């Protein structure tokens, strides 16, 4: 992958974060799971550092791929925790408000699309 391709990959990834338009009152809906999420992120950070060392040490590509898959799955598990909290709290409240319902459902679908692609 060329440097330019890397820039596109990472800018697309960051675009997900920059385009977030969640309502301010829903920014703390995962607080009961915050410690679990932070601990998981720290483990993933360690996995990614290990991956970097594997690449620097020219480890077997299949082993690197397995570790990448494990890191992605760990992130997906954390995303599921946050998504469930968001759905149970923010989405549940918003769909009860007829004026906010359609925008809220579209926002949720956009989050899901970004998670699975």
pLDDT digits (tens, 9 = 90+) for 90-106: 888 888 888 888 888 88
pLDDT above 90 covers a percentage of the chain that reads 44
Structural domains of the chain in order of their starting residue, each with its CATH number = 3-116 (1.20.58.1000)
What the block records as the tokens of 87 is 């759905």
- CB burial readout 74-104, b (16+ within 10 A) else e: bbeebbebbbebbeebbbeebeeeeeeeeeb
pTM over cut 0.85: no
């Amino acid at each position: 992958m060329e440097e330019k391709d890397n820039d596109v990959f990472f800018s697309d990834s960051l675009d997900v974060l920059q385009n977030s338009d969640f309502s301010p009152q829903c920014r703390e809906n995962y607080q009961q799971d915050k410690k679990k999420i932070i601990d998981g992120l720290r483990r993933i950070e360690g996995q990614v550092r290990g991956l970097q060392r594997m690449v620097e040490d020219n480890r077997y590509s299949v082993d690197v791929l397995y570790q990448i898959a494990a890191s992605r799955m760990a992130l997906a598990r954390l995303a599921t925790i946050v998504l469930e909290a968001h759905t149970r709290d923010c989405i549940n409240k918003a769909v009860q408000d007829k004026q906010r319902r359609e925008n809220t459902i579209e926002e949720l679908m956009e989050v899901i699309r970004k998670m699975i692609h």
